[in-house]
Amino acid sequence: MIVVRNTFTAKPGHAGKLVNQLKEMASAGDLQNARFFTDITGDFNTVVMEYEVGSLSGMEAVIERYMSDPAIREAAEGYTDHWKTGYRQLFKVV
């Protein structure tokens, strides 16, 4: 099992908008166990989207689907307007 954590620094005032759009994208992409977090402490305007895949090849399949599925691409339209930077971490559940 792999936990995928995408961490974004939202533009000021955009964290809620980003979370809502990420939820729409996760729904359109049928991501299993997707969870969303916003900061309480630490760097301001932090938004985290976390979900699980069975393997690294499962992660590759998610990326391929997100790049090619019209419904997901429609849900994702303009989401980059809400954040300044971000990064992805992959964790193996042991």
pLDDT tens string 55-85: 999 899 989 988 899 999 999 999 999 999 9
Give me the mean pLDDT over the 40-47 stretch: 94
What local confidence, expressed as pLDDT, does residue 32 receive?
76
Query: For the chain, where are the alpha helices, taking DSSP H only?
Result: 15-28, 56-68, 70-76
What local confidence, expressed as pLDDT, does residue 66 receive?
87
The answer to whether 16 and 53 are in contact (CB under 8 A) is no
For domain 2-92, which architecture applies? 2-Layer Sandwich (3.30)
For the chain, domain boundaries: 2-92
